[in-house]
Amino acid sequence: MRAVPFFRLSIAVASLSAVLVMAGCQSEPPAPARDTGALPTMERIALAANSCWFKSGDPAFKAYRLAPELNSFSGRPRILIVKRNSPEARPLAVIQAEGHPARLQAFGPLLNESIGSRMTSDIRRWAAGNSACKGAA
């Protein structure tokens, strides 16, 4: 067995030390990228809509309820806004996404009502990753 000369060993230790010191000086690791696929986007929207529109007791949404349909075999997860006392009736608003990155669509008669522009801005904000409830009237 051949001995490693001392100077080679000290160079290796010094190099390793330099690498560790440089690694310690690095800035914070980047935040994990937000998943922009259809399902994660619709999950973010559904959670925020439920929290901001329904569970908060917002009077603008008192007559409605949220009906999520996120497990979609069509690749188009969606959430429906339906009448509170008639959940089987035709949805008043449909918010859906497909693809990666997600392409959002929102349609239905509720979006043409006075709260429609607020809903649209909330949906866009939530899809972008900001779950704040800014639109409360």
Any domain includes 9: no
Domain membership of residue 116 as a residue range: 38-127
The per-residue pLDDT for 76 is 94
Q: What is the mean pLDDT of residues 13-23?
A: 48
Any domain includes 120: yes
Contact between 38 and 112 (Cβ < 8 Å): no
Any domain includes 26: no
Any domain includes 135: no
Non-local CB neighbours of 37 within 8 Å, separated by 6+ positions? 99, 100, 101, 102
Any domain includes 17: no
Cross-strand bridge partners of residue 86: 83
**SS3 state at 111:** helix
| Res. 77: pLDDT tops 80 | yes
| Res. 39: pLDDT tops 70 | yes
Q: Considering its fold, how many domains does the chain have in total?
A: 1
Any domain includes 61: yes
Question: Which residue, chain included where needed, has tokens 């080679």?
Answer: 8
| Res. 57: pLDDT tops 80 | yes
Question: Which H helix or E strand runs over 99?
Answer: none
Task: Tell me if the pTM is above 0.85.
Answer: no
